[in-house]
Amino acid sequence: MTSARPAAPPAELQLLLIGIGGQGIQLIGKTLAQAATNTGKHAMLAADYGGEMRGGPSNASVVIGTEPLRSLPILPSATAAIVASHKFAGPVPQRLREGGLLLRNSSVVDSGAGREHHRVVEVPATAMATELGAPQASGFILLGAFNRLTGLVPEAELVTAMTALLPPYRAQHATKNAEALSAGAAAVAGQEAPR
């Protein structure tokens, strides 16, 4: 009745997504988890319940690994975080592990969110999305940047997953979202973690 367990479980990427409704947090979480699944990885996406209305908190967590996952659906700690909105950055400083990657939307998040021992990268996602003429796509700017920083999946996989996930009445956003993914990746070029 007892299941065997390897001594040291392989590392899993544990990402916290922190934002407010309307920023597309759930959609970028789904996009990342789906792209990871499409490339043969194990993925989990746990949405935070509560308001998904515009302006309310909208949080999610994504776990990705190469083996069946052991992470809990409510993460006690995380290896990375994307903070899209300053309003609800609450759990990040406590839960993000030392050395963890903290990707901040510097257009709206003040630099107080996060601590010295995190690896902080800033992207002015809201401003960039407005410049692209796609204010709804700021989340994809952050996702594009995050994926470039971590080298998680080929960027094309994000585009494929995003396009498939868009409901028909939002299909017209696909092109701009794809541009946002590329713009985000370009914005952090050269800052990739040494591998």
Partner 1 sequence: MNTAVAKPSMQLLEGATAIAESAILAGCRFFAGYPISPFTPLLEHMSRALPENGGVCINAESEIEGANMALGAGATGAMAATGSCGQGLALMQETIAEAALNETPMVVFNLARNQQDYFQATRGGGWGDYRTIALAPKDIPEAVEHTQLLFHLSRRYRAPTLLYGDPLLAQTRVGVHLRRIEFDELPPQDWALDGTGGGTGESRQIWTWAMGKATNPGLGPDGHWQQVAAKFDRIAELEQRSEQRYAEDADTLVVSFGSAAKFIEHVVEELRAEGHRIGWFRPISLWPFPGPALAGATAGIKRVLVFELNAGQMLEDVRQYARDRDAIRFIGGVSIHESGLSYGPLLDAPEIRARILAAIAEDSTRSTS
- List interacting residues with partner 1 (CB under 8 A): 1-3, 5, 13, 30, 33-34, 37, 39-47, 49-50, 64, 66, 68-70, 72-74, 76, 150-152
What's the min distance (Å) between Cβ of 186 and partner 1? 21
Q: How far is the CB of 170 from partner 1 (least distance, A)?
A: 19
Q: Which of 16, 150, 146, 9 is nearest to 75 (CA)?
A: 16
Q: Please, which residue, 183 or 185, has the CB nearer to partner 1?
A: 185
Minimum distance of partner 1 from residue 17's CB (angstroms): 13
Q: At closest approach, how far in Å is the CB of 94 from partner 1?
A: 9
Copy the structure tokens of residue 49: 């319940």
Shortest Å distance, C-beta 155 to partner 1: 13
Q: Are 85 and 106 in contact (CB under 8 A)?
A: no
What's the token pair of residue 193?
């973690």
The amino acid present at 193, given as its one-letter code, is: A
User: Can you list the pairs that 43-49 forms with residues at least 24 positions away whose Cβ atoms lie under 8 Å?
Assistant: 43/69, 44/69, 44/71, 44/73, 46/73, 46/74, 46/75
Conformational region of residue 69, where left means phi above 0, alpha means psi within -120 to 50, and beta covers everything else: beta
Residue number with CB closer to partner 1 (9 or 186): 9
Q: Which residue lies nearer to partner 1 by CB, 70 or 117?
A: 70
What CA–CA distance (Å, rounded) separates 185 from 68?
Answer: 28
Q: Identify the CA nearest to 138 among candidates 15, 19, 14, 16.
A: 19
Q: Least separation, in Å, of the C-beta of 70 and partner 1?
A: 8
151 neighbors 135 (Cβ within 8 angstroms): no
Choice between 4 and 133, CB closer to partner 1 = 4
Judged by beta carbon, residue 45 or residue 134, the one nearer partner 1 is 45
Instruction: Rank residues 43 and 113 by Cβ distance to partner 1 and give the closer one.
Output: 43
